[in-house]
Amino acid sequence: MNTTYTKFSFKTLYTLFAIAVVTLISACGKSETEVTEYGVLSVYNASPSLTTYDVYLNGSKLNGVALPYAGGVKYTQLTTGTYETKFTVASETASVYTKTGIAVGNNSVSTLYLTGTTGNFDGLLVSDNFTGTSTDKAYVRFINLSPDATALDLRIKDATTNLASNQAYKGHSDFVAVDAGAKIFEIKETSATAAKTTVERSLVNGSFYTVIAGGKFTPGNNERAFNGQVILHQ
C-alpha cells in the first residue's frame, strides 16, 4: 500500500487530532463512511558516531538532508499501521540498522532515536505524551542515549531537585513542567554530585523539549565524547 507522508509543525497536532475526533463523531451511524486514522512519528540521530545518515520509512526516504548528530525529521503524519525504518550512511543504500514492527496507532505521537555505534546500532521508540499540559509552562524530559554511561540524572543549575533521576542507558523520564526562559541543564552521574556535562537552552511556554545525554564516556575512533543535546519537538 502506498502511503502519503506529511510533515507539519508540532502546533498542528492538537488541531489535527481534534478534527479526527469530529470526523469520527460525524461518521457515526453512517456505515458507508470510512474514517482514515492517523498518528505521527519523528526520527532523530542520537548515535555517537561522527557519520551522518539517511532514513527510509517503508522504502521511502524521509530526510531532505543527511541527519547529523542530534539532527532529525520533524513529525510526519502516517496512516495507522506497522512500519519499517532503515538507516543508511548518507548517500549510500546499504542498511546499517533496520527497525521493524513500528506500530503507529490512531492519534499516537512517537519519536524514534537511532542510538549505538557501528556493529551495535539500535533504535529506541518513545511515546511522546503531551496530555495534561498547559500553555503557560515549558515541558522537559530526559533520555540517556550514551551507550557506555552509568545511570544519569538531569537538573537545572542551582536547583535543589532533579528533573529526572537514575536513568540507565535507553531510560527516559516523563515530561515535567518548567518555567520558560534561559536554562543551564546539568547532566551528572547518579553516583556523583558534580555535573558530567552541561547544555544551555532558552525554553518557550507551550513547547516540549527532550534533553539527550549522548556521545560516550570513552569514545573510540569516529565517535564523539559525552555531551548533552536539546531537541524541540515539532
Same fold, 1-128 and 134-234: yes
- pLDDT, greater one: 13 or 192: 192
> pLDDT of 8-56, one tens digit each?
555 556 555 554 544 444 455 555 678 999 999 999 999 999 999 999 9
State the pTM of this model: 0.88
CATH dotted code for 1-128: 2.60.40.1120
- CA 139, CA 205: separation in Å to the nearest integer? 8
Q: Residue ranges per domain, the chain?
A: 1-128, 134-234
Q: What is the C-alpha separation between 155 and 139, in angstroms, rounded?
A: 13
**Superfamily for 134-234?**
Carboxypeptidase-like, regulatory domain (2.60.40.1120)
C-alpha cell of residue 29: 451511524
Tens digit of pLDDT for each residue in 69-111? Answer: 999 999 999 999 999 999 999 999 999 999 999 999 999 999 9
CB 231 within 8 A of CB 46: no
Among the residue ranges 21-30, 143-152, 223-232, the one predicted with the least confidence is: 21-30
